[in-house]
Structure 1
Amino acid sequence: MRNLILTVLLSVIAVVSGYVEELDDKFKEYRQDELWLVEFYAPWCAYCHTFEPIWYEVGAELKSLGSPVNVGKMDTTEHSSIASGFNIRGYPTIKLFKGDLSFDYNGPRTKDAIIEFTNRVSGPVVRPLSSVQLFQHVMSRHDLIYVYIGGESLLKKEYYKAATEYIVHTYFFSASEEILPKAVTLQDVPVVAVFKDGTYYLYNEFIDGDLSSWINRERFPSYFQIDSFSLYQMGEQSKLVALAVVDEKNPSEESIRYKTLMERLATEYRDHYKSDYQFGYMDGNEYINGLIMGEVAIPSIIVLNMTIDGYCLPESKIETIEDLLRFLNSVLDGSTSLLGGNGFLQGTKRIFFKAKSTVVSMFQTAPIFSCFVCGLPLGIVVMVIWATCTAVPAYEEKPEEGATASPALDAQGKKANELQSGSAEKTSEAKKED
């Protein structure tokens, strides 16, 4: 009840103050000249109701910051043609519209994360770094950034093109050699560098191939805490994901050991595995359980193939770095069985599993609304069945005394009476003859 009151209050404030605008079919006409951050929702979506207060907070915060970005929301059930045109497939879907371009937000559904995404994408695709102080300030604020170093070149054009595609994930900058830290050593310019893990790595066209592909491979730290959103994004890569599944709130000795082994592997064997593996750890097993449709022990080691929803588990206990190396190599050479996958049977099972999880989640987050959504069609079906079973057929209805049912019945009744009269006469004649 408290959350419902808060949601209603925020809705009224947002509408009155203009923080969040309810959009209609005219949105396509005026979006070209303005920046818009839009939530596409459905009234029956329980996640949308849970997310609604956060969305109004986003609108209020951007307004208070003086952001040029307008915040809106659109009911896709009322404006289905617009939703179809924007390829809306799930709820809530968040998009930022910038001229002819649109950018999907796939990060955590938190106010700070959404505002960070909005500020990054709504600004310049590539931001210039003009001083050593500015470079250091940027490095202190971000765990990972890309920097183009040098003047005009074909590489710069490729860099800007890739930045337009991956600005949804991270920041892109340009700088001259003079403002770089002294620890940065360059063989030649122009060049593209990624700064992460407390160091930097340079792009090499002959070794790394296409620039856009290299940026996509390097856009995560070598080792970090992975959540469901970042794990989902890794499905776009060809890398396997090696995870330590642990309990951060109550860490055991084995949890700490697994995390330490995975971090050491990511650091010491980066060059060896950088094309094959992404390393990290995950707090809790809830998302992993849903992914594999089973139960993963805490703590444990697991390797995920996000492109086909497959996974591998070690056949024996991981005790040392050597054990972990053998397991990872066995996954690469195929000697460890790949479980799961996206075959027909697994796909069917996953559909039912997700449907069940969605229904359970709906009842946990919004029980009253979920009862209404699920109970309404069920109630209609029950009423139809009840009406069908209790209805009296027309031929079973009896006419009132003294009333005729129809001309046909009158004729038949008259004919029956005549037949009965005829039969009675014949019977009398037969008695006389006797």
Structure 2
Amino acid sequence: FKENRKDDIWLVDFYAPWCGHCKKLEPVWNEVGIEMKNMGSPVKVGKMDATSFSSIASEFGVRGYPTIKLLKGDLAYNYRGPRTKDDIIEFANRVAGPLIRPLPSQHMFEHVQKRHRVLFVYVGGESPLKEKYIEVASELIVYTYFFSASEDVLPEYVTLPELPAVVVFKDGTYFVYDEYEDGDLSSWINRERFQGYLNVDGFTLYELGDTGKLVAIAVIDDKNSSVEHIRLKSIIQEVARDYRDHFHRDFQFGHMDGNDYINSLLMDDLTIPTIVVLNTSNQQYFLPDRHIENTEDMVQFINNILDGTAEAQGGDGLLQRIKRIIYDAKSTVVSVFKSSPLLGCFLFGLPLGVISIMCYGICTADTDGGVDEHEAVKKENGDRELTDEGSEEEQEEEKNGKYTELSDGELKQKDIMEKKKD
């Protein structure tokens, strides 16, 4: 594989045998392989145990599992989208095909525009701008398609100030790249590759992190048709549409169905429906300090964020990181017990039981040792008292003995004196 891989285009799943996410991907990956083969795609689909072929995995920068890469010549493109069959196949077809796809006719342009919600088109001949466009395409082809066309292929409503030009078609209109106002072409394309309003999920937030934008979200329940849920969603949509020129450079707008993901992200419990603005670069977020009643309230809230008067919460400081560790640990324990109470008792109850027994044994051993030591000291003191008492008795006996001896002597002396008298 290492010697011959450059002869073909490969879509490879780098996995680890013990990885749960890899096992979950396996049936999807099998479907991808079958579908690509039936389509007659030139892309070969394979998988590699990254733990057994660690040198190859390291060469391609594999740091986690599973990692999906498309290998094309000397280039390796990393897939970071949803792990579904359709999304993976769409990625493979996009990256494996031409870097810049030509649109030779109006009919072809209309056909492609119907298929793509966001469409980047280079208009004009050879130029430094086209070279830059090709360079950016080689970097961002993992996210979106890139096309080229002549001016007469474009719809009649399109008016270009000059040629060459890079145009993005989306949201029912078009926007022309302006180097002086929009800055670097790569940054502009990275910002513009999303529609003005999105249905936001975890993968979308992950990708939006590369844009540097704040993300204004209406957190709602899509199944709830109450006035409040619909109203907040409509407010965000109106701001995204009517205030594009004011906020598009700094904000991305959308809505999220349900609050489970957002609660996990913020380590908070948001009550839906609500509005939150996320800064994906530093994990900060903003909540409105009053109820959002209309578009004007939302615009004022955004302006407060821009001028720094709105209070930022969260962040990526030390305390927040510690809080994240505790929150993740708590969430893991709770999820295990919810999904399988018996497994939770085994995983967490058994170690706690063993630790409790060990602690009890240590404490009991210390107590017994203390009692034994106390008894030994007590016994030693008792022996010492007995010894002292014995010494007193001996002294008393010795004293009595001396007294007895003196008395006998006196008696003998007395007898002698009496005999002399006689």
TM-score normalised by length of structure 1 = 0.76
> Are the counterparts in 2 of residues 126 and 163 from structure 1 also a CA contact under 8 Å?
yes
Aligned with residue 278 of structure 1, among 252, 262, 270: 252
Q: CA deviation at 1:367?
A: 10
What does residue 16 of structure 1 align with? Answer: none
1:113 aligns with 2:87: yes
The residue that corresponds to 2:193 in the other structure is 219
Aligned-partner Cα distance in 2 for 1:173–1:367: 54
CA distance in 2, matches of 1:34, 1:164: 18
Alpha-carbon spacing, 1:354–1:95, altered in 2? closer, same or farther (3 Å): farther
The answer on 1:125 being equivalent to 2:99 is yes
Aligned residue for 1:337, secondary structure, equals: coil
The answer as to whether partners of 1:226 and 1:280 remain within 8 angstroms in 2 is yes
Structure 1 gaps of 5+ residues are 1-26, 382-434
Shift of 1:300: 0.7
Partner residue, 1:67 = 41
Q: Over residues 220-256 of structure 1, what are the superposed CA-to-partner deviations in whole Å (9 max), with x where a residue is unaligned?
A: 1111211211110111122100001111122321111
Q: Does 2:71 correspond to 1:97? A: yes
Question: Which residue of structure 2 lines up, in the alignment, with residue 189 of structure 1?
Answer: 163
Tell me if structure 2 keeps the 8 A contact 1:241–1:278: yes
Q: Which residue of 2 aligns with 1:21?
A: none
Q: 2:50 aligns with which of 50, 55, 76?
A: 76
Measure, in 2, the Cα distance between the counterparts of 1:294 and 1:348.
15
The structure having more radius of gyration, on CA atoms, is 2
- Structure 1's 59 and 94: CA in aligned 2 closer, same or farther, altered over 3 A? same
1:333-370 alpha-carbon deviations (Å, 9 max, x no partner): 22121111111221233244445556776888899999
Corresponding residue for residue 7 of structure 1: none
- Name the CA distance, whole Å, in 2 between partners of 1:213 and 1:376: 53
> In the alignment, is residue 168 of structure 1 matched against residue 142 of structure 2?
yes
Residue pair 1:258, 1:301 contacting (<8 A) in 2 also:
yes
Q: Residues of 2 paired with 1:172 and 1:374: CA distance? A: 52
Q: Deviations over 1:259-304 (max 9, x none)?
A: 1000100011000111110111111112211211122221110000
How many angstroms apart in 2 are the aligned matches of 1:311 and 1:269?
21
CA distance, structure 1, for counterparts of residue 33 and residue 124 of structure 2: 39
* Cα separation, 1, equivalents of 2:112 and 2:340: 41
After superposition, the Cα gap between the structure-2 partners of 1:65 and 1:373, relative to the gap in structure 1 and judged at 3 Å, is farther
For residues 370 and 31 of structure 1, the distance between their equivalents in structure 2, rounded to whole angstroms, comes to: 45
Q: Distance in 2 between matches of 1:139 and 1:360?
A: 47
Q: Does the 8 A contact of 2:263 with 2:269 survive in 1?
A: yes
2:415 corresponds to which residue?
Answer: none
- The gaps in structure 2 that reach 5 residues or longer are 356-422
2:127 maps to 153
> Distance between the aligned counterparts of 2:341 and 2:52, measured in 1?
24
Offset of residue 165 of structure 1:
0.9
Q: Report if the CA contact (8 A) 2:187-2:211 is conserved.
A: no
> 2-side partners of 1:369 and 1:131: how far apart?
62
Matches within 5 A, 1:11-410: 27-354=1-328, 357=331
- Quickly say closer, same or farther: Cα 1:290–1:87, change in 2 above 3 A: farther
The count of aligned residue pairs is 358
For 2:251 and 2:140, how far apart are their aligned partners in 1? 20
Between the aligned partners of 2:347 and 2:24, the Cα distance in structure 1 is 16
Answer whether contact 1:309 1:340 (CA < 8 A) is retained: yes
2:361 — aligned with what? none
Distance in structure 1 (CA, Å) of the matches to 2:25 and 2:328: 20
Amino acid at match of 1:99: G
Pair 351,96 (structure 1): closer, same or farther in 2 beyond 3 Å = farther
Residue 36 of structure 1: how far off its partner (Å): 1.1
Q: 1:356 to 1:58 in 2, by over 3 A?
A: farther
**Aligned mates of 2:105, 2:220 — CA distance in 1:** 42
> 2:226 is matched by which residue type in structure 1?
S
Contact 1:51 1:109 in 2 (8 A): yes
Residues 74-95 of structure 1: CA distance to partner in whole angstroms, max 9, x if unpaired?
A: 2222233333332223322211
Cα distance in 2 for partners of 1:104, 1:370 equals 36
Percent identity over the alignment is 58
RMSD: 2.9
SS at match of 1:28: coil
Q: Which has the higher contact order (CA 8 A, sep 6+)?
A: 1
Whole-angstrom distance in 2 between the partners of 1:362 and 1:74: 30
| Partner of residue 368, structure 2 | none
8 Å Cα contact 2:11/2:44 also seen in 1: yes
